[in-house]
Each structure stands twice: as structure tokens, then as C-alpha cells.
Homo-oligomer: A and B are copies of this chain.
Amino acid sequence: MREVAVLGVGMTRFGELWDRSFREIGIEAGFQALVDAKLSSGDLGALYLGNMASGSLIAQEHIAPLILDYSGLGSHHLSAVRVEGGGASGALAFHQGYLAVASGAHDFVVVGGAEKLTDVPDVDGMRISNGAADQEWEVVFGATLPGLWGMVARRHMHEFGTTREQFARVAVHDHEMGSKNPNAHYRNRISLEAVVNATPVAEPLGMLDCAPLSDGAAAVVLGPLERARKFTDTPIRVAASQVACDSMALQHRRELTTMDATVVAAKRAFGQARRTAADVQVVELDDAYTVSALVSLEDLGFVPKGESGPTFATGAFGPGGKTVMNTSGGLKAQGRPFGAVGVAQIVEIVRQLRGEAGDRQVPGATLGLAHVLGGTGATSVVHLLERAT
């Protein structure tokens, strides 16, 4: 396979963008990425678009050619493909874009992720969100995604002694990071007390343990590494791109507190890149719920199983730490437009590796990891990105 590099990145602000349609945000992110890559539309071969639920949300399927069309790229008759895997949709689109360039089928591709979750008609956010869980074996019995993650949290407390406050610290951290990110949905800092005392959603998780529903889009341009220097002084190499899946329903897993899909995807990714978790300076991981962040830190190998709560509470993953987590603010503070999340993570990692992350820059970062889950971990996607030397 050819080596693949990220040549350009772009994203919209995440948040409640009531004045902007799905197609508008998709196009804005794509244009930004193209301009950043110094490419013109005629150079492109394909568009991969991550989106979870446009069919239910805006009655629109078949959205890859739609975004292609309204971005003015339609006239080139590019290939345009939508990819869906719940909250992992954007990361899966990136994986497909990676394969398209690695295979030699295309030289330059755009990968986009977009979701319009607010200000849409007749939509029940919980129903949409539950579409990533198992309808027949979970949802019809009353389970919801927050409810399922609440069970994971309870079990983690039972098995490892993790405390309510330790979960809450993830949200405090994310909002601190989000306060430095001009694109973040939430830029306010929050206190540990506020998180612990927030309205319960699915105990022990409260309102501030759960990422919001956001509108937003993100995009990146990929191309062959060997040609990357023509376009940028700081090409970012895709060192690994791996997907692993698991049982759809949480109850069918080997255990509740380990997401095997993440363990396997991470193992494959570190194998592909010939690196280990200890080499990673910046990680964007799935904090859709505070508990998913702690579990993912363990599953990715950043802390031993069961130790994430107390370790995180020491500030080990904050600024100055060996590995800094969710400098973007993560899903919790940067926001959670399902299909855009996995691409926005790549945007943040690329900006960190280029040294363009402003107030939230991790000095000298050379290797970054992006991780996102679909549902309660039936899909897990891990990407490793490295500053090409």
C-alpha cells in the first residue's frame, strides 16, 4: 500500500447552528480543507462523507453526491460515497479515504463528516442516538445510550473502586480544553461540583457527563505521502488506520468495562505503525460520556485496566502530561455532531502535529492518536498520525 498523508484540514464551529443548513456546513468545511491543502477541485478523485442519521433527521439519504454537488465539485463527476457507523461514521469515512489513496485508486480525496442535529423538524434526539444501539435487544426494552453507559460506569465503580468524582473530572478537563478552542460548542469552564450536582441522566452519569447534540462539519484532504511536499511543509503521515467491531448489544460482551473492539483496533494500529501508547503525545478519544473516556484510556493502553479514575484525577492527561487528552475539548466540549466527530478529531491532531493549535498547543507533539466509538463500542476506530520528518 502507498503511504498516505493529510494535506489539508478544515472545520466549522460546532454548536447550535440554527442559521445554517446541513449542506452549508458540509461545504464550508470541505472548502477550508481544500484551500488549506492548496489543491483545486480538479485535482480530486473522490469524496467520502461520514454521517449517521440524515435520513431520520432531514429525510435526506444519498448525501455524498449532494455535498459534492453544492460544493461545485459535481461538475467533475467525482466518486462520492457516504459511510455510516453511528458515532464512528466520520472515522470510518477517513478509513475509506485512506484505503482509496493507499490502494492507488485515487491520488487526492476529501473526507468529510457532517451532522445537523439541532433545529430540525420533529426529531427526538434520544431516538436518533439510540439508533447506534441494538433496537431489538436493547432499545425496545427501554435501554438508551446514556443508560447503557451508566451501567458501564456502575460496573467500573464496583470492580475498580472508581468514584463519581473521578468520572466528573473528565468533563471538567474537557471544558477547560474547550475554553481554548474557538470552534468548540461549549467554551465555558465548569467546576467539579457543577458536574457532580447536575441533573441526573442515568446514574451515576448526570447532564454534564454527557456530550451535547451539536451541528457541525469537518473535512480533511488526503493524498500520497510521496507527493505531499509539493503542497505543504508539514505533511502529516497516516501511520495507521484500523477498525474493529464487536457485539452490537452491551449484554452480549465478554465484560462490561472493557471495549474489546478498542483493544483490538489499538493493537492493530500500534502494530501497523510499530509504535506504542507510550509514544503518543496527543490523543483525541471518545468522551461521549465521561465513563467512555476513562474506559477508552484503559482500552487504548494509556493506563492499566481499572486505574484510569485515580490516574486521570492526578492531572496525568492534562497540559504538561506525557500524553494530553482531548485538547479540542472532545465530544463533551467541542461538541458532538455524530458524523463529524471522527473527522474533527483528525483536524485537531493535525493542527497539534503542525504546531498550529494556538493556546492549546502541546509543545513538540509528533505522534497523535484519534479514537472514536459507535454506540457502546460495537465499532471502534483508531488512527495514528505522525509528523513526517
B-side contacts of A64, CB under 8 Å: 85, 245, 379
A58 to B103, CA, bound (A): 35
For residue A217, CB closer than 8 A to chain B, the reply is: no
Interface centre among A62, A131, A248, A379 (most CB of B within 10 A): A62
A130 to B131, CA, bound (A): 21
Query: What count of chain A residues pass the 8 Å CB interface test?
Result: 65
For residue A1, CB closer than 8 A to chain B, the reply is: yes
A103 to B260, CA, bound (A): 26
For residue A158, CB closer than 8 A to chain B, the reply is: no
Instruction: Give the contact stretch, choosing among A134-142, A175-183, A359-367.
Output: A134-142
Contact B80 A379 (CB under 8 A): yes
Residue of B nearest to A79 (CB): B243
Contact A245 B78 (CB under 8 A): yes
Cβ-defined partner of A81 (8 Å) among B66, B85, B133, B136: B85
User: Given contacts A66-B134, A84-B84, is CB(A74)–CB(B139) below 8 Å?
Assistant: no
B-side contacts of A56, CB under 8 Å: 55-56, 59, 61
Instruction: Give the contact stretch, choosing among A92-100, A160-168, A273-281, A285-293.
Output: A92-100
A52 to B58, CA, bound (A): 14
Q: Among residues 167 to 197 in chain A, which have CB atoms less than 8 Å away from a CB atom of chain B?
A: none
Contact A74 B1 (CB under 8 A): no
A56 to B131, CA, bound (A): 10
B-side contacts of A131, CB under 8 Å: 55, 59-62
B-side contacts of A78, CB under 8 Å: 244-245
Q: Among residues 97 to 152 in chain A, which have CB atoms less than 8 Å away from a CB atom of chain B?
A: 99-100, 102-105, 127, 130-136, 139
Contact A1 B105 (CB under 8 A): yes
A272 to B246, CA, bound (A): 37
For residue A234, CB closer than 8 A to chain B, the reply is: no
Contact B95 A99 (CB under 8 A): no
A249 to B69, CA, bound (A): 9
Contact A69 B252 (CB under 8 A): yes
Contact B80 A62 (CB under 8 A): no
Residues of A within 8 A of B (CB): 1, 21, 23, 46, 52-53, 55-56, 58-62, 64-66, 68-70, 74, 77-86, 92, 95-96, 99-100, 102-105, 127, 130-136, 139, 242-249, 252, 260-261, 264-265, 374-375, 378-379
Q: Beyond A61-B86, A65-B247, A66-B378, list 7 extra A-B contacts (CB 8 Å).
A: A61-B84, A62-B85, A62-B375, A62-B378, A80-B243, A80-B245, A81-B95
Please list 10 pairs of residues, one from A and one from B, whose beta carbons are closer than 8 Å in the complex, sorted by A's number: A62-B132, A64-B245, A65-B378, A69-B247, A69-B249, A74-B252, A77-B265, A79-B245, A84-B84, A99-B105
